[in-house]
């Protein structure tokens, strides 16, 4: 099998994705694209413990390795990781984490001949060197990174393979999972709600009460057929009819389908 953009064979592939949950979900499309591009190769995922069981059940990887993320004062952990990475004899690495930590993993592959590497590590064979990459949406950034490595066809994420036992939650039949986003003024953050000094990215925290009306509308029959959108609670105008308020507060979902060619 020819590797992306190279003339040497690719029989062993490593994919690096350590977390977190939202980023892992957004990487499902790239995972599928890498599997399709290397249908006959042995593909290993390097990830962290919270995602190992999920990804072992996915159709994308032959093996899942755990990274315990050794700290700087654990040289033995770094040496163990280096031995494992070099011992994997990988032909190509897709670094989808693209962090300072995963960049160090490229250095651990040396000295000597390193595998082909798609990522941002200095000196790697397939750098994603777009200076605007940090300002791109994750989906667009990963698409462009893979395209530069020769993997151009990245599908939307397919989560149909995910199964689990939801009986613990006492749910019956079909149900919807709502995941409010944003830094909210709740007990999930250090301190107590209402405390001064607790600041979000824009200088303030969201009052969780603003999600009450949108959640009620989303749980009603009026929202039937609505999908692929997000609703910004602070933009919900309670003086408007619910359907009109929903239209005003709606925006494109961060996890939107890719446009068709």
Q: Would the pTM count as exceeding 0.85? A: no
Cα-trace Rg, the chain: 22
Cβ atoms 95, 118 nearer than 8 A: yes
SS3 content of the chain, % helix, strand, coil (to 5): 35, 15, 55
Instruction: Give me the domains of the chain, ranges plus CATH numbers.
Output: 12-148 (3.40.50.2000), 167-252 (no CATH)
User: Measured between alpha carbons, how far is 66 from 29 in angstroms, rounded to an integer?
Assistant: 21
What pLDDT, on a 0 to 100 scale, did the predictor assign at position 6? 46
Give the residue, 191 or 171, on which the prediction is more confident.
Answer: 171
pLDDT digits (tens, 9 = 90+) for 192-245: 666 665 555 455 677 778 888 988 898 888 888 887 778 888 899 989 999 999
**Closest to 98 (Cα-Cα) out of 112, 72, 117, 78:** 117
Cβ atoms 228, 256 nearer than 8 A: yes
What pLDDT, on a 0 to 100 scale, did the predictor assign at position 107? 95
Band (pLDDT 50/70/90 cuts) for residue 185 is confident
123 has pLDDT over 60: yes
CA atoms within 13 A on the CB side of 99: 10
Mean pLDDT along residues 128-144: 92
pLDDT digits (tens, 9 = 90+) for 51-84: 999 999 999 999 999 999 999 899 999 999 999 9
Chain-centre distance for alpha carbon 100: 17
Q: What is the mean pLDDT of the chain?
A: 85
pLDDT digits (tens, 9 = 90+) for 16-25: 999 888 899 9
CA atoms within 13 A on the CB side of 187: 0
Q: How far is CA 18 from CA 60, 98, 258, in A?
A: 16, 10, 24
């Amino acid at each position: 099998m020819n590797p992306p953009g190279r003339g040497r064979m690719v029989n062993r592939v490593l994919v690096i994705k350590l977390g977190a949950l939202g980023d892992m979900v957004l990487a499902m499309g790239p995972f599928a694209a890498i599997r399709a591009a290397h249908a006959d190769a042995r593909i290993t995922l390097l990830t962290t413990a919270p995602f190992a069981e999920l990804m072992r059940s996915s159709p994308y990887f032959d093996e899942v390795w755990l990274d315990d993320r050794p700290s700087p004062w654990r040289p033995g952990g770094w040496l163990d990781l280096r031995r494992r990475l070099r011992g994997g004899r990988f032909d190509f690495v897709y670094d989808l984490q693209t962090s300072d930590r995963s960049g160090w993993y490229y250095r651990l592959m040396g000295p000597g001949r390193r595998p082909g590497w798609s990522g941002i590590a200095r000196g790697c064979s397939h750098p994603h060197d777009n200076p605007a990459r940090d300002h791109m949406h994750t989906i667009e950034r990963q698409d462009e990174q893979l395209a530069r490595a020769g993997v151009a066809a990245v599908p939307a994420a397919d989560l149909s393979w995910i199964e689990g036992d939801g009986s613990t939650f006492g749910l019956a039949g079909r149900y919807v999972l709502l995941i409010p986003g944003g830094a909210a003024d709740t007990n999930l953050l250090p301190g107590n709600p209402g405390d001064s000094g607790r600041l979000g990215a824009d200088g303030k925290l969201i009052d969780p009460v603003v999600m009450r009306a949108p959640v009620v509308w989303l749980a009603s029959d009026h929202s039937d057929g609505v999908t692929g959108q997000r609703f910004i609670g602070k933009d919900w105008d309670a003086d408007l009819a619910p359907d009109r308020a929903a239209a005003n507060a709606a925006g494109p979902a961060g996890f939107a389908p890719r446009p068709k060619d």
